[in-house]
């Protein structure tokens, strides 16, 4: 059985968990905090989460994990049949991660962990996000799902990352840059959150967040 390792506050962990739930794959979870501990580095090369444990060994990097799960468990596919459409889903995922989530991540220290981000970094991130979000809207369909008429792996990624970026930009810039770029985002998020898989991920995330704040 697949073991998902990490913690439920991480959007990369939750992306992987949502995919496991959507595909109906049996899995267990192990609470693991990122670190440079030698035992962890043997399981995850940079000490990051998430990673999974398979019958063959460990696997890190959430997108690689998604692709592995799709190939190993082809039932309940989360990609379109058409090869070009599949690639378009992956193109959207790559944009979401490289051009939106990754720049926004530089704000998380202040948004979620009580740290401080310099004004220079905030200005740099804002510029990158404006470009990234504008670029994303040249690819999104919202008809009603992000890549077309079917729920795909891209929705698993978009729901988690765009929600985080929305929270982060509201807190840092006093404006929701996601809503500004994508007016239909609220109804889209609501639609994804009507799925039982997303509800489970959100409920577990709320518990993890409450435990984190208590500490």
**Chain residues in the site for ligand GSH (CB under 6 A):** 10, 12, 34, 47-50, 61-63
Q: How far is the CB of 110 from ligand GSH (least distance, A)?
A: 16
Angle, CA 89 vertex, CA 87 and CA 90 arms, to 5°: 65
Q: How far is the CB of 101 from ligand GSH (least distance, A)?
A: 9
Return d(Cα 96, Cα 70) in angstroms, integer.
19
Which CB, 94 or 180, lies closer to ligand GSH? 94
For residue 144, cis peptide bond before it (omega within 30 degrees of 0):
yes
CA distances (Å), 91 to each of 85, 145, 188, in order?
10, 15, 19
Which CB, 49 or 177, lies closer to ligand GSH? 49
Return d(Cα 60, Cα 65) in angstroms, integer.
7
Q: How far is the CB of 16 from ligand GSH (least distance, A)?
A: 8
Q: How far is the CB of 51 from ligand GSH (least distance, A)?
A: 8
Which CB, 121 or 150, lies closer to ligand GSH? 121
Q: How far is the CB of 60 from ligand GSH (least distance, A)?
A: 6
Q: How far is the CB of 197 from ligand GSH (least distance, A)?
A: 19
Question: 205-214 contacts: CB < 8 A, separation 24 or more?
Answer: 205/8, 205/9, 205/14, 207/8, 208/7, 208/8, 208/9, 209/9, 212/9
Element spanning 215, H or E:
none
Return d(Cα 69, Cα 63) in angstroms, integer.
10
Which CB, 49 or 107, lies closer to ligand GSH? 49
Which CB, 64 or 186, lies closer to ligand GSH? 64
Contact 169, 175 (CB under 8 A): yes
Which CB, 105 or 122, lies closer to ligand GSH? 105
């Amino acid at each position: 059985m697949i073991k998902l390792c990490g913690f439920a506050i991480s959007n990369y962990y939750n992306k992987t968990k949502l995919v496991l739930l959507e595909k109906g794959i049996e899995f267990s979870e192990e609470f693991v905090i990122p670190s440079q501990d030698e035992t962890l580095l043997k399981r995850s090369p940079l000490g990051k989460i998430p990673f999974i444990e398979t019958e063959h060994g460990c696997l890190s990097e959430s997108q690689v994990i998604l692709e592995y799960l799709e190939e190993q468990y082809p039932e309940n596919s989360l990609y379109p049949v058409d090869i070009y459409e599949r690639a378009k889903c992956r193109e959207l995922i790559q944009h979401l991660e490289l051009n939106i989530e990754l720049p926004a991540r530089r704000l998380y220290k202040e948004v979620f962990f009580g740290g401080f981000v310099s004004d220079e970094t905030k200005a740099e991130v804002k510029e990158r996000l404006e470009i990234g979000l504008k670029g994303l809207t040249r690819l999104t369909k919202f008809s009603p799902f992000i890549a077309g008429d079917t729920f795909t792996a891209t929705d698993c990624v978009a729901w988690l990352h765009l929600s985080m970026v929305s929270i982060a930009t509201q807190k840092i810039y006093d404006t929701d840059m996601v809503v500004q770029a994508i007016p239909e985002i609220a109804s889209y998020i609501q639609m994804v959150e009507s799925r039982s898989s997303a509800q489970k991920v959100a409920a577990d995330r709320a518990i993890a967040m409450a435990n984190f704040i208590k500490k």
